[in-house]
Chains A and B, each alone.
Chain A
Amino acid sequence: QVQLVESGGGLVKPGGSLRLSCAASGFTFSDYYMAWIRQAPGKGLEWISYITSTGSTIYYADSVKGRFTISRDNAKNSLYLQMNSLRAEDTAVYYCARERNNWNDVGDWGQGTLVTVSS
């Protein structure tokens, strides 16, 4: 079955960097668009970035544009999110997500990894 396992979360100081990884299994990773979606504590969901199957097209929400970079390695079945210049408002659970048939909704989610930005 589809498995998405995030790693790399933790506590980081404002202005710091963190790299999240998502290991995918149970499907042909290179066929699917993938995304990062986050949820601040007690808040709603925010779709922050997505990448097409080949990596040829990438989008970022304005809230992270210029600071976060999404990437993928289809040979390693892995998705990444490089997060720089982190702010307190980036504190959230970050979910790795597989789009359903590449139609811009999410059929499968990882368990999430918590990123806390605090001094």
Chain B
Amino acid sequence: DIQMTQSPSSVSASVGDRVTINCRASQEISTWLAWYQQKPGKAPKLLIYTASSLQSGVPSRFSGSGTGTDFTLTISSLQPEDFATYYCQQANSFPFTFGPGTKVDIK
């Protein structure tokens, strides 16, 4: 199975800050990588697919990059509604594993 790791596990930030979350796969997955946002008590929401494609309806302050084993989610200017937990997920081979999550909270 492909193992996914994320760093940091949590980040404290202020509105307007630039936030970067990293995700690493244990083996090469090309660009088969998705990012999700989850708020407490809610289902996750797809933000980015194939590493850098923005899902319809997602604000352009979210962007993704990377290929191979190393990937990044960037929020260019953090908004109040962005405080949440973010997960990466590899879509290369089953089981489609998720990273452990990165919690973004208010500084």
A binding-site residues for B, Cβ under 8 Å? 44-48, 50, 59, 61-62, 95, 100, 103-107, 109-112
Contacts and interface: CB of A to CB of B under 8 A. Distances in A.
Contacts of A109: 43-45
B49 A105 contact: yes
B99 A44 contact: yes
A106 B46 contact: yes
Interface stretch (B13-21, B65-73, B75-83, B87-95): B87-95
Interface string B35-68: 0100000011110011000010000000000000
B49 A47 contact: no
Interface residues of B, number: 23
Nearest to A106: B46
Given A44-B99, A62-B95, 5 more contacts: A44-B98, A47-B98, A95-B43, A103-B91, A107-B46
Interface of B: 1, 32, 34, 36, 43-46, 49-50, 55, 87, 89, 91-92, 94-101
A105 B91 contact: yes
Contacts of B100: 44
Contact of A110 (B32, B43, B46): B43
B46 A47 contact: no
A-B interface, 4 closest residue pairs, ranked by CB to CB distance from nearest: A109-B43, A104-B91, A105-B34, A45-B98
30 contacts: A44-B87, A44-B98, A44-B99, A44-B101, A45-B36, A45-B44, A45-B87, A45-B89, A46-B98, A47-B89, A47-B96, A47-B97, A47-B98, A48-B95, A50-B94, A59-B94, A62-B1, A62-B95, A103-B50, A104-B91, A105-B34, A105-B46, A105-B49, A105-B91, A105-B96, A106-B89, A107-B46, A107-B55, A109-B44, A112-B43
